[in-house]
Amino acid sequence: MAGKTRQRQRKRVTNAMERKKTQLIRKAKTPTQREKILKEIEEEKSRRMAVVECGLGDLIQPWRGEFIAAKHPDKITEEEISAALVRSMGILAVAARMLGVSRAWVEERAEKTPALQALVRDIYEARLDFAEAKMMEHMINSNWDATKFYLERKGRKRGYNVENTPINNGGKLGHMLDALADEADK
């Protein structure tokens, strides 16, 4: 079943990117603009496909206003709550809107049900994984701000912290970033 879902998501991404490419190419006035648009579309398609391939495709689909359950809260099933939580990326207010109930109601049900608690934790972890992947992308592309941010947060045990940044005494992180920036300029 997961394979078919992933195939549908790949097709959805491909179709969306083709539509976007067609729209943007029409607006391009020069061959250079067209080339730039094509490159940007390919990069975006690659990013979106990576999300689909790592299994986060369901989590990044924005809520488009369709209701999963428009009925009395007592009749909403655990499966409907789960579906709303997945579609909303674990954002309780959005899931509540999808279910036609209050945010507090969704939170209360999630706290009472071990399966929903686990789902919320899994979604949270998936969002963190996705954010970390994006951070790594920026670091790989030599984004020094992203590198500094990462080291300040994750490199504390090695002495990279806010107190040792270039702003505060030009500490270890500052010297490392200066060296990397000098190396990149060569």
Q: Is residue 120 part of a domain?
A: no
Kindly give the confidence (pLDDT) of every residue in the chain, 186 residues in length, as a single tens digit, with 9 standing for 90 and above: 456 777 887 888 888 888 888 888 888 889 898 898 888 888 878 777 766 665 555 544 444 445 555 567 788 888 889 888 888 888 888 888 888 888 899 999 999 999 999 999 998 888 888 888 888 888 888 888 888 888 887 777 777 776 544 444 445 555 555 666 666 555
Residue 158: the pLDDT is 76
Residue 112: the pLDDT is 93
55, 74, 92 — which closes off a domain? 55
Q: Is residue 133 part of a domain?
A: no
Q: Is residue 166 part of a domain?
A: yes
**Domain range enclosing 26:** 2-55
For the range 6-14, what are the long-range contacts, defined as Cβ-Cβ under 8 Å and sequence gap of 24 or more?
A: 6/52, 6/53, 6/55, 6/57, 9/52, 9/57, 9/58, 10/49, 10/52, 13/45, 13/48, 13/49, 13/52, 14/45
Q: Is residue 154 part of a domain?
A: yes
Q: Is residue 12 part of a domain?
A: yes
18, 37, 55 — which closes off a domain? 55
Q: Is residue 159 part of a domain?
A: yes
13, 36, 55 — which closes off a domain? 55
Q: Is residue 86 part of a domain?
A: no
Number of domains within the chain: 2
DSSP-based three-state secondary structure for 113: coil
Quick check: 116 and 85 in contact, CB under 8 A? yes
Q: How many CA atoms lie within 13 A of 103 on its CB side?
A: 6
Q: Is residue 162 part of a domain?
A: yes
